[in-house]
Amino acid sequence: MPKRYRDIVGDGGSNVAAQVAEHTARLRTRMAGVTHTVAVMSGKGGVGKSTITANLAAFFAMQGWRVGVVDADINGPSLGKMFGVRSQRPRVEAAGVVPAMGPQGILVISMDLFLPDDTAPVVWQGLQADTFFWRGTMEMHTLREFLSDVQWGELDLLLLDLPPGADRVATIKDLLPDLRGTVVVTIPSAVSQLVVSKSITMARDLLQTPIIGLVENMTAYICPTCEEAHPLFGPVSTEALPLDIPVLGRIPFDPRMATASDRGVPFLFDHGASPAGQALQHLGANVQTFLASVAQEE
């Protein structure tokens, strides 16, 4: 005779509690070799968050840091392309999954590395795969495996490129309670800043996650004839945000950033002397200063 839900005692033999404890222990062991974990978030898509993540990784790699990057956007992965590692299929060993290796030894894990071709979407299988709750659960489970099952080894910095949405910070905070902080990316647009301000409130005030600072991306374009900077989106600036958060950098628009991403080589490696390259280096230096100050307090 089949049992009804109220007839089941405990977890029905699924041993969920033990499975969760085992996953947590494995994650803690894997992250023990990582000195700093930093999330890059936006709250809104289309602001160049993944580009900022890739070039932050490039900056620290150029300083001699051992860097890893997690593409936490499970359904819209892009970092495999930006680091030129899409042809590297992850290899599973007894010690875990071997991540792809990008320029200057940057380690990369992304859902894009597991998809069979360019047009293949991420499709979840299961009895409830068409429900929002099920998809969210599977995305979190996948991200947990990216962190706990990948052979990260000893890293100075692990960057997590979060998908748009303030709720994603809660997922990261649950998985990584020792998260050093978040870098928030926006553009000089009132619409973007409205969404971003909500994400900042969620991360800082509700989840008690440190905010390293704000990055204002695509602030201006450099005139090719006069070489002067002109506003790209108008007069709106992060200075109008009613938030006591430091501005880590203002990055001017440079069309070569898109070209670099398509080539699979971070912009900073080849164009560090450009105005955008110098702004990215200034951004990286500010994040490095923050991480050094945190390390001194421990």
Q: Report the Cα–Cα distance between both ends of the chain, in Å, rounded.
A: 59
The answer to whether residue 159 scores a pLDDT higher than 50 is yes
To the nearest whole percent, how much of the chain has pLDDT over 70?
A: 80
Domain spanning 22-297, CATH class: alpha beta
DSSP type of residue 64:
T
Q: Which residues fall within 8 angstroms of residue 189, CB to CB, at 6 or more apart?
A: 233, 236
pLDDT digits (tens, 9 = 90+) for 272-294: 999 999 999 999 999 999 999 98
pLDDT digits (tens, 9 = 90+) for 105-121: 999 999 989 887 776 66
Three-point CA angle 60, 209, 279, nearest 5°: 35
pLDDT digits (tens, 9 = 90+) for 117-151: 776 666 555 545 455 444 556 677 788 889 999 99
pTM across the whole model: 0.85
* Average pLDDT of the segment spanning 174-179: 84
The answer to whether residue 173 scores a pLDDT higher than 80 is no
State residue 134's pLDDT score.
40
- Give the C-alpha distances (Å, rounded to integers) separating 48 from 19, 129, 144, 226: 37, 30, 24, 26
> Per residue in 175-195, is it b (16+ CB within 10 Å) or e — as a string?
bbeebbbbbbbbbbbeebbeb
Parse the chain into domains and list their residue ranges.
Answer: 22-297
